[in-house]
Structure 1
Amino acid sequence: MSRTARPRRYLMCRPSHFTVDYSINPWMEPAKPTDADRAVAQWERLYTLFRELGHTVELITPIPGLPDMVFAANGATVIDGTALVARFRHQERVDEAPAYVEWFRSRGYRTVHRAEFTNEGEGDYLLVGERVLAGTGFRTDRRAHAEAERVLGRPVVTLELVDPRYYHLDTALAVLSETEVMYYPAAFSPDSRRTLAELYPDAVIATDEDAAVFGLNAVSDGLRVVLPEAAVGLAAQLRARGFEPIGIDVTELLKAGGSVKCCTLELRGAPA
């Protein structure tokens, strides 16, 4: 299959204040040492890679005391220039939302909507073609899905997550193109597995091993797929389908329950 990369615009946040001093997901162990310099170095490599691939990367200023702000994907969902800013579930992250509101407004976004119901941005909202796949079960309130459909103007499909290790949709499913996804079936309820099988019968299916290294927390530009380097099985499957997988080491950030996609919020539509 012939595939073409499309230049993207991303928003990222340098992990200047990275640490794990609280636990809001199963990956976070405050007693386990973290290396802030290593986290920054790994993030810098990802940032540089996106730019080398021809993508535009904008930055939001990290705020002291908000170590999870590095996971910019959770800050909002942006489609057709409309920014639906997150409303975080856990108190430890609540103060991130105003920073995203300010960032979007200062950059000239005309529609910046502060969510009424709890949602954690592209952590749980993934655009596939004209459809938004929306996760629920651990972070995003199911009622937020109707709000997203109204604000973003796209049909929303609800998917229920059932494994606490995969607490956001972007840890259990990745968008590869406008018609293709890869996902880990065991992370979803039976009804949601049936929905995914109907919508994407030719999806790439992740093994337990690849899911456990956050291999599905990946970013695709339609040709190149940036994913954790330990997800070798997924990389092989992607290569067989004509994609160009690019492995990267972000294991320090995984200590906080995040990886490639968590660090990357796509900016769709004006302003440039």
Structure 2
Amino acid sequence: MDKPAFILNPPFSLSTEVANNIWMEELPPDLRQCDTDRAVTQFLALYRHLAAESLVFLLPTPYPDGLQDLVYTANLGIVLEHLPDRNTVVVSNFASPPRRGETEVGVRFFESMGYRTVVPDTKFEGEAELKHLHDNVYVGGYGQRSQCETYDWLESAYDMVVVKLAETDPYLYHLDCTVFPITAEQTLVCTSKFEHDELRMLEKHTEVIDVSLDSAYNGLCNSVRLNNVILNSSHIHDLRSGSDEYQDELRKNRELEDIATKLGFEVVLVNLSEYHKSGAMLSCMVMHLNRNSYQFSLL
């Protein structure tokens, strides 16, 4: 395919019944309850933005399923971009108990599309944890949901290099909370969350652009690139003007817009507030089938 391609899953099974991250645990059950109609409306807004310039495949929801987080397809697996045929999917071996049933769903789906699938013996939670930089070089997060041993195995089995970053903050429990490759040469990183030696290793492979910690908490790195557009989640219009939460969201949006402008990108903000109740942001909902957007020439 010469177009960007992604996988989404409509929120038919979305639920916040089991609190499986600290964001959910801190929300009272009544505030954590999902509004299904609003979740579908917000999903369709994201779908429209992506489908305007890319191929969007929809992952079917098995019935009955009980897979409350299936909508977060970034955790389902990763297509190994550096392999010549881009035909190998590493399907996740989930640490989170409510998500373990997704592995079988992913294997069936990808094999039905003609992909070759492999599931690691060690814990791994998809492209939310493993980001392609360029060539055969990736950056992988470990310590909370994924194991470092997974990346050792991938390096040995698939002739790839994985720069390994330890995740220690329970609020930033996947790598997409702190790392976003924005071009083939530049990567947004919340540098305050990593050790100096780790950053030095990463800087051997990419130009690191620092992201503030507050903006990382508010989802700046949880972005998705679509050609010359950076998509990000923002519910700023739901917030009371002048409130602390409003000011935090405003600063995050402006920081992202400043970075994007310098690099020649446009920014599109999508309200995904219903998914915040799961402790999730935009990048959580999108799995790449290819990285063709990174071949787009910026003017």
Indicate whether 1:89 and 2:98 are aligned.
no
For 2:202 and 2:120, locate their aligned partners in 1 and report how far apart those are by CA, in whole Å. Answer: 26
Letter of the 2:54 counterpart:
H
Give the corresponding residue for 1:65. 66
Shift of 1:196: 3.3
Residue 108, structure 1, aligned to residue 114, structure 2: yes
Shift of 1:211: 1.2
**Residue identity opposite 1:73 in structure 2:** A
Alignment of 1:266 with 2:288, yes or no, is: yes
**1:249 maps to amino acid:** N
The one-letter code matched in structure 2 to 1:72 is T
For residue 152 of structure 1, report the CA deviation from its aligned partner.
Answer: 4.1
Contact 2:128 2:284 in 1 (8 A): yes
One of 130, 135, 153 as aligned partner of 1:125: 130
Partner SS, residue 66 of structure 2: coil
Q: Does structure 1 retain, via aligned residues, the 8 Å contact 2:68–2:98?
A: no
* Bigger radius of gyration: 2
How far residue 234 of structure 1 moved from its aligned partner, in angstroms, is 1.3
Q: How many residues align?
A: 261
Aligned to 2:229: 224
Distance 1:153 1:260, change over 3 A: farther
Q: Which shows bigger deviation, 7-16 or 231-240?
A: 231-240
Residues 12-41 of structure 1 deviation map (CA, whole Å, 9 limit, x = unaligned): 111112221112211113613322221221
- Distance, in Å, in 2 between the alignment partners of 1:27 and 1:174 is 21
**Runs of 5+ unmatched residues, structure 1:** 1-5
Q: Measure how far apart 1:195 and its partner are.
A: 2.9
230-239 vs 249-258, greater mean Cα deviation: 230-239
Is 1:175–1:219's contact at 8 Å kept on the other side of the alignment? no
Q: TM-score, normalised by structure 2?
A: 0.82
8 Å CA contact 1:224, 1:245 repeated in 2: yes
User: Offset of 1:204 from its aligned partner?
Assistant: 2.7
Q: Which amino acid aligns with 1:66?
A: L
User: What residue identity is the alignment partner of 1:147?
Assistant: W
In the alignment, is the contact (CA less than 8 A) between 1:174 and 1:217 conserved in 2? Answer: yes
Question: Structure 1 counterpart of 2:50, which letter?
Answer: F
- TM-score, normalising length: structure 1: 0.89
Once the two structures are TM-superposed, the CA of residue 43 in structure 1 deviates from its matched residue by: 1.3
Distance (Å, rounded) in 2 between the aligned partners of 1:137 and 1:16? 31
Structure 1 position 153, deviation (Å): 3.5
SS at match of 2:69: helix
Farther-moved stretch of structure 1 (30-39 vs 78-87): 30-39
Note the aligned Cα RMSD (angstroms). Answer: 1.8
1:48 maps to what in 2? 48
2:265 corresponds, among 243, 262, 265, to 243
CA distance in 1, matches of 2:91, 2:175: 17
What is the SS of the residue equivalent to 2:12?
A: coil
Secondary structure at 1:70 match in 2 = coil
Say whether the 8 Å CA contact 1:85–1:101 is kept in structure 2. Answer: yes
Equivalent pair of 1:23/1:30 in contact (CA under 8 Å): no
**1:140: Cα distance to partner?**
0.5
CA shift, 1:248, in A, is: 1.2
Determine the C-alpha separation between the residues in 1 that align with 2:104 and 2:221: 29
Shift of residue 191 of structure 1?
3.1
Q: CA deviation at 1:222?
A: 4.6
The reply on whether 1:39 has 2:61 as its aligned counterpart is no
- 2:5: which partner in 1? 9
Displacement, 1:10? 0.5
Unaligned 5+ runs, structure 2: 81-85, 235-248, 292-299
Mapped contact 2:72–2:286 kept (Cα < 8 A): yes
Give 1:128 shift.
0.8
Q: Look up the equivalent residue of 1:25 and give its one-letter code.
A: N
Q: Is the 8 A contact 2:163 2:202 kept in 1?
A: no
